[in-house]
Amino acid sequence: MKICLIGGTGFVGTHLITTLVSQGHSIKVITRRPERHRHLRILPMVKIVTIDFFGNKILERQIDTYDVVINLAGILNPSGKNTFEHVHEKVALRVAEATKAVGTPRLLHMSALNADENAASQYLQSKGRAQNKILAMEGLNVTTFSPSVIFGAGDSFFNRFAQLLKMMPWSFPLTCASTRFAPIYIGDVVDAFINSIDKPQTYGKNYNLCGPESFSLKELVKYTATEINSNSIIVPLNRFFSKPIALVMGLFPGAPITLDNYNSMKVDSVCPDSGANKSASISDLEIQLHGIDSIVPQYLGGKDFAGQMDYFRAKSKR
Ligand X SMILES: NC(=O)c1ccc[n+]([C@@H]2O[C@H](COP(=O)([O-])OP(=O)(O)OC[C@H]3O[C@@H](n4cnc5c(N)ncnc54)[C@H](OP(=O)(O)O)[C@@H]3O)[C@@H](O)[C@H]2O)c1
Min dist CB 48 to ligand X, Å, is 9
Based on the shown chain and the rule CB under 6 A, indicate whether residue 110 belongs to the binding site for ligand X: yes
Encoded one letter per residue, x for contact with ligand X by CB under 6 A and - for no contact, window 153-172 reads ----x---------------
CA 270, CA 147: separation in Å to the nearest integer? Answer: 9
**Binding test (CB under 6 A) with ligand X, winner from 96, 98, 131, 147:** 147
Contact by Cβ (8 Å): 150, 74: no
Contact by Cβ (8 Å): 316, 237: no
Q: How far is CA 249 from the centre of its chain?
A: 22
Write out the DSSP string of 225-244. HHHTT--PEEEEPPHHHHHH
Contact by Cβ (8 Å): 138, 103: no
Question: Is 73 or 225 the residue whose CB approaches ligand X more closely?
Answer: 73
- CA angle 142/145/147 to nearest 5° reads 175
Based on the shown chain and the rule CB under 6 A, indicate whether residue 72 belongs to the binding site for ligand X: yes
CA 65, CA 56: separation in Å to the nearest integer? Answer: 18
The piece of 25-33, 259-267, 276-284, 294-302 that touches ligand X (CB under 6 A) is: 25-33
Question: Is 187 or 239 the residue whose CB approaches ligand X more closely?
Answer: 187
Contact by Cβ (8 Å): 183, 157: yes
The piece of 81-89, 130-138, 169-177, 210-218 that touches ligand X (CB under 6 A) is: 81-89
- Identify the DSSP state of 167: H
Based on the shown chain and the rule CB under 6 A, indicate whether residue 82 belongs to the binding site for ligand X: yes
**Binding test (CB under 6 A) with ligand X, winner from 68, 70, 87, 192:** 87
Q: Pick the closest to residue 311 from 184, 252, 296, 302 (CA basis).
A: 302
Min dist CB 233 to ligand X, Å, is 26
Based on the shown chain and the rule CB under 6 A, indicate whether residue 11 belongs to the binding site for ligand X: yes
Based on the shown chain and the rule CB under 6 A, indicate whether residue 112 belongs to the binding site for ligand X: yes
Contact by Cβ (8 Å): 5, 29: yes
Question: Is 39 or 218 the residue whose CB approaches ligand X more closely?
Answer: 39
Min dist CB 69 to ligand X, Å, is 13
**Binding test (CB under 6 A) with ligand X, winner from 13, 78, 187, 211:** 13
Min dist CB 241 to ligand X, Å, is 25
Determine phi and psi for 34, rounding to 5 degrees: -60, -30
Based on the shown chain and the rule CB under 6 A, indicate whether residue 12 belongs to the binding site for ligand X: yes
Q: Pick the closest to residue 310 from 159, 89, 154, 193 (CA basis).
A: 154
Q: What is the dihedral of CA 30, 35, 37, 43, to 10 degrees?
A: 80
Min dist CB 150 to ligand X, Å, is 4
CA 83, CA 300: separation in Å to the nearest integer? Answer: 31
Min dist CB 15 to ligand X, Å, is 8
The piece of 83-91, 174-182, 223-231, 242-250 that touches ligand X (CB under 6 A) is: 83-91
CA 246, CA 259: separation in Å to the nearest integer? Answer: 5
Encoded one letter per residue, x for contact with ligand X by CB under 6 A and - for no contact, window 31-50 reads xxx---x-------------
Min dist CB 33 to ligand X, Å, is 5
Positions touching ligand X (CB under 6 A) are 6-13, 31-33, 37, 72-75, 82, 86-87, 91, 110, 112, 147, 149-150, 157
